[in-house]
């Protein structure tokens, strides 16, 4: 039962990394779009892309915390006690980001729109960095077992956590750029397709460089994870590299759907590789999945709730995304590109 619960937990983390990651990455491109005039059209496309789904994407993060808390309470206690600083920053960033995104559309003065836009964009970088730093802390064994607190600063300010934070920012920007290429295509805005295609290519190259440099960091600072990546998870690492290169090739050939699927596969492969490399530890190398598991009665209740969610909530999410991709949601009103 503990293994099944861990698989559900990790599946939810993966889904959030893809959908929530693309959401955060759109904020990164909002941040780097430039001044009010040159950045106006890219920001319109970004708003069109994430407007209908940005709130829904964070349901997966809530699900992750609920499953971790109920199924693996000792690990949850250790993680939250040790990493309360980056987790608090991430929570504040999510709230600030959502409020700023909503208020940017509601206010009338240009100055206020810029202020809220800046808060939205900066929070979009802060949150994935902090969550990536949390992953780096866990993966490098800096969270102690036993439901006790580790060092509140060195636990997430260290080489592996910095690597995790940077890689999270890079991969979210990478994912978002591929999604935005498709959304610009749905708007028949070839100028924006070209604009985001260039950024997708740049983000892919940067993410690849960071991942390659991370090999040295993991070799010296997270030896258990490094050993797992070069043995039992090696096939997934190679698959991620192949998918990443394939996504860039497909993008140059204007195969937008194929490029987006390949980009998603590259990111998913990296995340699954982390899980396989770390298995069967929740907290390397001090707490295994079976040792951290809650009583069987609790596990059964979680499985029942997860089953109901799969039947009732997942189809609703699928419908939302389908309607979004077909531009059938009323919120998706964005000016058509000018022919001037």
pLDDT at 331 over 50: yes
Please report, rounded to a whole number, the percentage of residues in the chain having pLDDT higher than 90. Answer: 69
* pTM of the predicted structure, to 2 decimals: 0.91
> Is residue 75 in a domain?
yes
For residue range 71-124, list pLDDT tens digits in order.
999 999 999 999 999 999 999 999 999 899 888 877 877 778 888 989 999 999
- Residues contacting 4, CB < 8 A, separation 6+: 299, 303
Q: What's residue 334's pLDDT? A: 47
- For residues 314 and 278, the model is more confident at 278
- Number of structural domains (the chain) is 1
227 within domain boundaries: yes
What's the rounded mean pLDDT across residues 170-183? 93
Residue 201 lies in a domain: yes
Question: Domain containing 23: what range?
Answer: 2-325
The mean pLDDT value for 28-36 works out to 88
Mean residue pLDDT of the chain comes to 90
Q: Are 63 and 12 in contact (CB under 8 A)?
A: yes
**Model confidence pLDDT, tens digit, residues 284-310:** 999 999 999 999 999 999 999 889 988
* pLDDT tens for each residue of 110-133: 778 888 989 999 999 999 999 999
Write out pLDDT tens, residues 196-224. 999 999 999 999 999 999 999 999 999 99
- Altogether, the residues listed in the chain come to a count of 340
User: What does the pLDDT average to over 37-47?
Assistant: 88
Q: Do the domain assignments include residue 193?
A: yes
Rounded to 5°, angle at Cα 207 from 206 and 211: 120
Residue at 340 is within a domain: no
φ/ψ of 78, rounded to 5, equals -65, -45
Residue 331 included in any domain: no
């Amino acid at each position: 039962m503990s293994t099944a619960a861990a698989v559900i937990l990790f599946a939810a983390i993966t889904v959030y990394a893809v959908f929530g990651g693309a959401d955060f990455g759109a904020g990164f491109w909002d941040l780097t779009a430039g001044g009010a005039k040159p950045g106006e059209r890219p920001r319109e496309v970004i708003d069109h892309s994430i407007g209908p789904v940005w709130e829904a994407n964070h349901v997966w993060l809530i699900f992750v915390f609920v499953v971790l808390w109920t199924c693996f309470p000792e690990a949850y206690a250790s993680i939250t006690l040790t990493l309360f600083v980056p987790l608090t920053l991430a929570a504040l960033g999510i709230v600030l980001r959502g409020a700023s995104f909503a208020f940017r559309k509601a206010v009338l003065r240009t100055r206020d729109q810029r202020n809220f836009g800046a808060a939205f964009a900066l929070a979009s970088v802060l949150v994935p960095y902090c969550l990536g730093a949390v992953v780096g802390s866990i993966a490098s064994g800096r969270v102690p077992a036993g439901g006790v607190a580790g060092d509140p600063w060195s636990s997430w300010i260290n080489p592996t956590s910095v690597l995790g934070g940077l890689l999270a920012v890079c991969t979210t920007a990478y994912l978002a750029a591929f999604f935005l290429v498709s959304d610009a295509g749905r708007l028949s805005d070839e100028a924006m397709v070209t604009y985001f295609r260039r950024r997708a290519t740049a983000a892919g190259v940067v993410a690849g460089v960071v991942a390659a440099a991370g090999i040295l960091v993991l070799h010296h600072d997270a030896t258990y994870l490094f050993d797992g990546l070069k043995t039992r998870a090696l096939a997934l690492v190679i698959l991620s590299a192949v998918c990443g290169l394939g996504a860039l090739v497909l993008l140059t050939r204007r195969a937008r759907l194929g490029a987006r699927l390949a980009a998603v596969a590259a990111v998913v492969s990296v995340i699954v590789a982390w899980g396989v490399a770390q298995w069967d530890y929740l907290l390397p190398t001090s707490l295994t999945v079976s040792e951290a598991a809650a009583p069987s009665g609790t596990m059964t209740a979680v499985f029942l709730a997860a089953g109901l969610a799969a039947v009732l909530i997942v189809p609703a999410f699928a419908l939302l995304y389908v309607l979004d991709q077909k531009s059938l949601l009323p919120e998706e009103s964005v000016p058509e590109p000018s022919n001037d």
